[in-house]
Amino acid sequence: MKILLNQLRPGFFWVLCSALGLIISLTFASGVNAQSTWPNKPIKMLLGYPPGGGSDIVARLIAKNLGDRLGHNVIVENHAGAGGIIAADLAAKSTPDGYTLFFVPSGHASIAALRRKNSTYDAVNDFTWISTVTTYPLAFTVAPDSPFKTFDEFLLAAKKEPGKYTYSSVGVGTAMHIMAEWTFSEAKVDVVHVPFKGGTQPFQELLAGRVDLMIDTMTLTANLLKDKRVRLLAVTSPKGMSPIPGASTVADSLPGVQFESWLGVAAPANLPSEITARLNKEIIAVVNQPDVKQKLMDFGGKPQASSPIEFKTRVQRDIDNLSKVVDARGITAN
């Protein structure tokens, strides 16, 4: 019997190894096949602002064209509130399977700078950064019947009557809020902040005369300017680099005060590299489509796709820079 077992053991060993190898290869093949068939159903794209705002307009433009390229609908889901935190938290805690994306505004970085000590997610490491879509300045505008024709006129009036004038943003800690506080601190004026959840409400309040100055993305403001529904006082582009010929910049009045906003696409952390690469490739293709590129420029932006690492580096850099403003100006979430 021992002799028989000794004769069988070498063969049995190789049979066992072959069987284990087959199981491993089948498992690997199954995983690869699952990724190679992605997507096989609609994809949702979370957005932290309500319908109708600048981020929403661009999100729907990108989602429609991305869906066309992927062969399945990409559906924008608006989860407004808390300056985008609700959507970011949902995205961070979603399964990284490629069926949940996160349309990220630069406000993600400003909120992270404001709430970095008590956030429910890591603003950088809890996400897979896929690509930016566009960059653009913020715009300081007033109603058409406003007495202010220039940004310097507004600053002079605010200096003469501290606390009389108001400005809107789409939430505490957003890029608009922090940029405004930086601006008015440098100008040494007291302008009262009136935050909204986003969408078109700041514009409606501006026209109604309940807010004196609106600070919003050029994405939303471009069409309002085109239709002469608002008057532009200044943009936050670097001095001499306004996207609108002849428009003043904040830096013209306050040297060094400038900010470039952005929009991009991310996903939950640990998204499979194959899916990340596919999404990056398709988003770059979408941004470079002539019709999409033209619309992004019509919205007052500069079409600008990126690599995942370039996007992640931009987010971290903005968080670091805006954190300095938050700390220096004593800006709090309350």
Q: Give residue-wise pLDDT tens across range 171-206.
A: 887 888 899 999 999 999 999 999 987 778 899 999
Per-residue pLDDT band for 240 (boundaries 50, 70, 90) equals confident
Which of 205, 227, 253 lies at the terminal end of a domain, its last residue?
Answer: 253
Residue 141 in contact with residue 265, Cβ under 8 Å? no
| pLDDT for 29 beyond 50 | no
pLDDT band at 334 (very low <50, low <70, confident <90, very high): low
- Dist CA 295 CA 82 (whole Å): 29
Do 126 and 266 fall within a single domain? yes
Last residue of a domain, one of 229, 253, 277: 253
- pLDDT in the model for residue 138: 92
Q: Are residues 182 and 271 in the same domain?
A: no
For residue 3, pLDDT over 60 is answered with no
Query: Residue 200: which of 230, 170, 231, 162 has the closest Cα?
Result: 170
What tens digit of pLDDT does each residue of 263-304 get?
A: 999 999 999 999 999 999 999 999 999 999 999 998 888 899
Cα 172 to Cα 279: distance, rounded to the nearest angstrom: 32
CATH assignment at residue 209 = 3.40.190.10
Judge whether residue 114 has pLDDT over 50: yes
Which of the four pLDDT bands, split at 50, 70 and 90, describes residue 235? Answer: very high
The answer on 281 and 245 residing in a single domain is: no
Question: For residues 203 and 224, is the Cβ–Cβ distance under 8 A?
Answer: yes
Which domain covers residue 200, as residue numbers? 138-253
Q: Which two three-digit tokens encode residue 210?
A: 């309940």
Neighbours of 181 (CB within 10 A): 20
CB 129 within 8 A of CB 315: yes
Is 17 a domain residue? no
pLDDT at 68 (0 to 100) = 98
Q: How many domains does the chain have?
A: 2
Written as one letter, the residue type at 7 is Q
Are residues 229 and 247 located together in one domain of the fold?
A: yes
Instruction: Confirm if 262 and 269 have CB atoms less than 8 A apart.
Output: no
Q: In terms of C-beta density within 10 A (0-12 exposed, 13-18 middle, 19 or more buried), how is residue 116 classed?
A: middle
Over residues 231-251, the mean pLDDT reads 86
CA distances from residue 221 to 54, 139, 194, 298 in whole angstroms, order as listed? 8, 7, 18, 10
Single pTM value for the model: 0.76
- DSSP E strands in the chain: the ranges are 43-47, 74-78, 100-105, 127-136, 138-142, 166-169, 192-195, 213-217, 231-235, 261-268, 302-303
CATH number of the domain where residue 90 is located: 3.40.190.150
